[in-house]
């Protein structure tokens, strides 16, 4: 290359860089223009261009979901009763039914949802990147996840506590019995941290055996690799039901931590957060008012209670405030059932994964489930 080309070379590089910078601009502005296409559903007061990064996504999620025609829900596929996929590829569980309820709220069709099994490590990235619209995968509400992991937790759908399961033959009853033993635990979970905290607080030495997924964790436990296995108590009950001999394992009467489990959505889209949140409340309120999928039509037709009328869309414009149809909650109850129905379907006494309702009862029955007023 002769020297006279050097200036040309430099010029071209500069030109290329300018080009690259210009090329970058449409990509950046593409983000901003997306809310504009969301005018079908976005509330009018947000139509103005919003340069602040935090609010740029307002209304975007619902618009994207509506445009796509179905909801994408990040779910578990290894925990019977919460999120499980059977040999035919059917999903079932409380967390799965929540997604169906959400789909019913948006589309009036509980099947307009695609379940995407996500592993514990990838669940937050999947949510952050928009690969899934909502994460409903027995995820514990913690401060770090609420802030640093850029998520918003809706109302809790299952109040849980972390427990320990041991083979009955060992006769263990307390944490201290496990001194010097090993505990199987799944990575990427709050469980891993709580376990360390609990044993440190009790001043007991132990050795954690950490696995990548629930299947491996419980496989190692059932082979006797560990003296105990730990996860949320609901998870222990559910996994115990698929052990070779469920009666040969005891869940210790020790609670290592509070585990409020609930759906999680991205930071930055308040409208979507409201929809996800109030779908949970609709499920809870329906049980409180005694509305079930079986009687919802009858209640809707003959009811006089204004609270219920507003919930079912006979009165007021509550649905429109969320960017949904006014019959959204009616659809939820009709197609997915109320909270109690969902619970009984997956965790009730007739299921192999029976868990007594305990905290997860309506507040009138001594539980923690409490829906704010539908006004």
Residues 245-274 close enough to bind another protein by CB under 8 A: 266-268
Residues 6+ apart with CB under 8 A from 63: 34, 35, 37, 38, 40, 41, 42
Nearest residue (CB) to another protein, 89 versus 349: 89
Cα dihedral sign for 281, 282, 285, 286? negative
Residue from 146, 225, 293, 345 in contact with another protein (CB under 8 A): 225
Quote the CA–CA distance of 154 and 132 in Å, as a whole number. Answer: 16
Contact between residue 230 and residue 163 where contact means Cβ atoms under 8 Å apart = yes
Written as six digits, the tokens of 32 are: 């901003």
Please, what is the minimum distance in Å from the beta carbon of residue 373 to another protein? 31
Written as six digits, the tokens of 166 are: 């041991």
What separation in angstroms does the CA of 317 have from each of 40, 101, 201, 303?
A: 17, 20, 52, 17
Please, what is the minimum distance in Å from the beta carbon of residue 56 to another protein? 6
Nearest residue (CB) to another protein, 2 versus 302: 2
- For 75, phi then psi, to 5°, come to -130, 170
Q: CA angle at residue 134 from 295 to 105, to 5 degrees?
A: 30
Written as six digits, the tokens of 254 are: 């020790």
Residue 19 lies near another protein (rule: CB under 8 A): yes
Residue from 215, 270, 315, 327 in contact with another protein (CB under 8 A): 215
Residue from 36, 49, 111, 125 in contact with another protein (CB under 8 A): 125
Task: Please report, as residue ranges, which positions from 335 to 374 form the binding site for another protein (by CB under 8 A).
Answer: none
**What x/- string results for residues 144 through 183 when contact with another protein is judged by CB under 8 A?**
xx--xxx---------------------------xxxxx-
Task: Please report, as residue ranges, which positions from 182 to 211 form the binding site for another protein (by CB under 8 A).
Answer: 182, 187-189, 192-193, 195-197, 199-200, 206-211
Nearest residue (CB) to another protein, 82 versus 115: 115
Task: Please report, as residue ranges, which positions from 42 to 71 form the binding site for another protein (by CB under 8 A).
Answer: 53-54, 56-57, 60, 64
Please, what is the minimum distance in Å from the beta carbon of residue 188 to another protein? 3
């Amino acid at each position: 290359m002769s020297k006279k080309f050097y200036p040309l070379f430099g010029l071209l590089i500069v030109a290329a860089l300018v080009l690259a910078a210009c090329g970058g601009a449409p990509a950046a502005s593409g983000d901003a223009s997306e809310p504009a296409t969301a005018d079908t559903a976005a509330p009018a007061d947000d139509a103005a261009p919003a340069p602040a990064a935090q609010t740029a996504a307002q209304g975007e999620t619902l618009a994207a979901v509506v445009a796509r025609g179905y909801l994408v829900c990040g779910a578990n596929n290894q925990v019977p009763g919460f999120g499980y996929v059977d040999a035919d590829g059917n999903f079932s569980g409380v967390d799965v039914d929540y997604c169906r309820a959400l789909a019913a709220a948006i589309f009036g069709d509980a099947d307009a949802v695609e379940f995407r099994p996500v592993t514990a490590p990838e669940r937050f990235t999947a949510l952050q990147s928009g690969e899934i619209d909502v994460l409903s995968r027995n995820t514990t509400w913690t401060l770090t996840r609420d802030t640093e992991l850029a998520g918003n937790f809706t109302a809790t759908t299952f109040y849980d506590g972390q427990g320990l399961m041991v083979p009955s033959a060992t006769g263990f009853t307390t944490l201290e019995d496990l001194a010097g033993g090993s505990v199987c635990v799944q990575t990427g979970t709050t469980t891993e941290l709580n376990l360390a905290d609990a044993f440190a607080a009790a001043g007991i030495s132990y050795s954690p055996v950490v696995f990548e997924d629930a299947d491996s964790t419980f496989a190692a436990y059932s082979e006797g690799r560990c003296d105990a296995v730990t996860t949320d108590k609901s998870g222990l009950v559910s996994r115990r039901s698929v052990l070779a001999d469920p009666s040969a394992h005891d869940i210790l009467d020790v609670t290592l931590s509070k585990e409020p489990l609930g759906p999680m959505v991205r930071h930055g889209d308040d409208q979507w957060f409201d929809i996800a949140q109030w779908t949970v409340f609709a499920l809870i309120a329906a049980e409180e008012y005694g509305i079930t999928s079986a009687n919802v039509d009858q209640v809707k037709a003959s009811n006089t209670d204004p609270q219920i009328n507003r919930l079912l869309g006979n009165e007021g414009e509550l649905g429109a405030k969320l960017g949904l149809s006014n019959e959204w909650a009616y659809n939820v109850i009709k197609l997915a059932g109320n909270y109690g129905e969902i619970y009984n379907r997956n965790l009730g006494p007739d299921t192999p994964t029976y868990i007594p309702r305990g905290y997860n009862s309506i507040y009138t029955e001594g539980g923690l489930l409490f829906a704010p007023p539908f006004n």
